[in-house]
Structure 1
């Protein structure tokens, strides 16, 4: 039996080039300059007749470990120049180009990896957000146009279903958080031929659970490769909940885990409002009871969503006060923050619903919040299907020079 602390073998806590937005918490990002392996003999023979060109020195390349990517099964790579603008480099285009973005959008229509918990999280939240958008229409339109007739069941039932779907998505989010990869796994093959040509390709021997169709049942990561000897804890099976040792030594200091926990807490409390929104319950509540079991859970649950969204944004930032608009995860957190504020504002305004204009404001805040959640969920869906991001970062060249 592996000891509890084996789960943390090879962590990034004291590694070089490791950063995090909050010093008191675990690091969230690490650069590791890639070692360029020589291609096999057949490739070398094919390139032997080519002369090396002095001006075509291969660019610097670095693997990028990020805590969010690690949960999502993504493998990031940073390169000092665009591979398609450098004659000595062969590889995919940077992920932020129009071509790669369109390819990523296309994947959303043709790929359905239901065994990937990150995909499930994104898809479930997208479905839940669509339900909340429908609820927003049912709630806001009758206030905007009083001649519009909508049954009480339309708003109440969609609220209950939407809250239930969000709760299910939050449970999946927690499972994702406690099943992040347990060792260095970068997912890229960086190889150099004898003529100096640099080749960047995807390596599929990583040990992330996301690629394994059996992980929800019994999959052991030791079956995903033969190189787990250096990390004894890698043979741990799919985990439904971490041990107390893992919680107090790692997860309580992990921004992503704290964000997921806040999301789950918020969704659980918010579900109470979804349940009490059903007409047989809501229509028979006194004003104090309605405030306590309908509006108050919306405020508490929405606050949990706000905290979660802020933590998800901070997780991908270089410093807690510096935004990171170049990272998908940051935009997901931003849109979810807007949605969370809308839902929280709805609950807060509900305490004064008898005053003129308040009903319009609270239904509008729900409508806007549901659309914001939908946008964030769709971006997360896109993120879950694009496992190999690559971008240009000029400082990688300096990291390579420092290493040499």
Structure 2
């Protein structure tokens, strides 16, 4: 049997089918959300659905190219690809185009490209390469710091644009590190800081500090009373660090966060007591979510039917072809349609994790887990944002939302793993 035939047989056709189903359903909903009376056909490039069809066609070219390249290429040149990704982010400071307050795009005529979408692929490759080179679980502090540097450098550059949504996605990599042996203390620290931040905003730094001090001292005297002196000291230092963080929350909130970030926290946590100011914030930042919830709720069980969504056709929900594309699914296809879309995403995620665990190469396994983590983060945050569980942060729904950079980035991300999986490095 020839090498080519053997490779074709090893391709994960099920993952490819799920990809094409999601892209196809996404395009159908983009068409419904964006078509106008002036449209002249499916290939009308003046319409968003026409442009998206072009992006889908070019994605097919990318898929063929990715699957044609030798699998070892991605591991061998991962460092160069990562550096190129960082340079593309740095270049935005000089050559970037400002759109909606963020300098996140390069513009070539009417064509724009967002390098942050491709930087995720570069980071996945670099992290997978580093973890595969050390060939051990990352218990060593130096290995942990290098991993953190690989992960955190791109979002630091992205925050300069500023684009908080794209930067947030990089938190997904810490789940990959946990799979590869990162001590769970880091996840607990992250969770604790987020919890303390929210509690402090909600009840104030005085109440939060006193409550943390009481709970911390009780824990130290009950659970660490018989512990070694070093452990008691570490627990006490952790308590001091927690209270110090609480005291710094107000400064971070009012001096580091932008006004629109503060308004979104104010809306979600109900921090504003003045009903006039709260209503003003709600109209500004809660409008998208309120309209999205109304649109999805109006779809009922079966939905109103394709192109029959009154709120979709009436353009009630801003950004309905990009970040809020899921509202079109909810209104026109109802509970059944949204359930099918969620099922397809979950099935794809589970499929990727299953194939990742089967890899003989650590590089391929880490890469597969990273793909699943990024897709899950986008999927969970986007849908949570649309139904009001999370504030609006500008995270697209993979394979669904309109945009060439997003579709190409997710396509490259997924199909490099399909290539690695089909090749089964070190198996031949």
Please indicate, yes or no, whether the TM-score normalized by the shorter chain is above 0.5: no
More strand by share: 1
The TM-score, its normalising length taken from structure 1, stands at 0.29
The TM-score, its normalising length taken from structure 2, stands at 0.27
